[in-house]
Structure 1
């Protein structure tokens, strides 16, 4: 069994990746910028008004394998509080501190382009590199975004800020140095094909939030959901062109006067994106909510009938899994389809096809029995995508590494 070190400056889904590696070997460590260790810094933060900054940074199943540093944890908190001043310093500090763990291990596991220096050092030391590419390749995203910028008269700089050349260069370097590249969606997989040998790629969908403890409760909610009121449509996500919010707004405009209501939840990404928020506020059949605590989101899912997601490209689209968990059929653009099965638990249509979106909404508004059956199927299908399944697939990849 090879010795493995997983590196991550934040956490995202990497705790599940670490659990999957731990199924393969007990010779694994997780190197994190922040992790709750009940040390003096953790105790100080918990007593302060900033305690929410560290919520969720612990999983007792992996705690014994986690490496942290008080100095790096301090830099992490400064980065959280004032990212404009401390982000660069935090990443430099994290990578320099964590460098020592590269030498001690045979396999280095990293996520996306956060840690370009770490990947480079591992490559120079001839380590095996497992690289999780979370989002579609940056140059592909930028190309698609430029099409929207022209169409909706946004400034060209919008794309340069979101996808700077430095990001693209780092991603190219990282995928070339990696031995195995893990992606969560077909969109990300396809975006990497022009740049990497397909033999390196492994597709593993993420897991849903569903658990055995709440399956019966959710089933009961779905069974007794009313389907005779106004059709309630939900969007949750960032407000920007890449998420396709502009197309949902256009669909809502075309459906004014119908027995259909829209709810938009999310914050604008950049200053230019506030125009999208204003457009929603001007709709008579829609309401805008800037944010909802994640622990309260289930109430929104339960209060709606359909989830719409018009992203032009998406690393996976966790929100669609969450919506399916609460029995919502999903109408999605091809770029953000995730695991939606067309005609079974939702509908998939070409990017930017507002007519298709409107027609699917109208159809489900009219055919409420179809809507109900699709919701039940969404709940059934989402149970195939668990984090345990994800962990098992990670383990399989590491068993492959024994041949390298």
Structure 2
């Protein structure tokens, strides 16, 4: 009995020992991988997992961030000689000269021929007064001459047209800096006015290029606050030649306040010239014309207005004269800028507008190019008409 008991106990012991070994083996298989610290403690050298995102990032450096590319400004074309360079374009206005010259060169001049000359002058918007004056002179000189030589007749016609355009008028832009009552220098201030559609804002941009070409420091004032596009357009013109534009971020802001700020900015920066663009307005709108007078008065608190330039479309003819007269009454126009002179046969408007206002044409627009604004030279203008 004792032997059997011991045998049973031995079998049970063997079973327990085998089960414990199996259980231990299973636990080892299910145990999670050792953490890096545990592996190190166990004496097994392992590499710590690397962050793949860290590997993909470029190494940090102390090098400065790349600078934004500098804005490249343009250098406007020289002002001298523009009328000569653009003579071919201006000669498109030359119907007046060619027509008169062809009639005067005929073997005999009848009364119908003289009427044809007179009609040509009137159609070219020379005006009744200047036309009558020119006709009288031509009749007398051609009859006295008694010759129909083309070159001689052309010289006579040229002399008479130059006299009508009047080369004695002061056509310089008054851009000299002045000194205020406080003894401080102030920039010359140019106020640009005109009706809608004459190319006024574009003219202001081109005028800035003319002044920059003369090595003058310019500030532009975007006082056309009724159209945000006008301020944007003017600022673009300024940026192209490195000129600052003072504007309001609020559409419909007081244009006089913007003009005042522009002149003040010009004083503070030591600029030579401040050019103020204004909104186009019809000459028969009394409130808008009154606002123009207010702009001029407000500007004068900072600096006297050196020039008031009226922009006229050369293609409008006699209607442009009526516009000019109203503007002259409100803001004392000192000079005329004729735009679109290259695309019209009405070159006589130069003579008519000067006679009507007693104000010189100072600048002419001869095309759509950025540098197609030229100081007006009477002799070169007449030569282009007769070319």
**TM class by shorter-chain length?**
under 0.3
What is the TM-score normalised by the length of structure 1? 0.25
Q: Which has the larger radius of gyration?
A: 2
What is the TM-score normalised by the length of structure 2? 0.26
The structure whose RCO (Cα within 8 Å, separation 6+) is larger is: 2
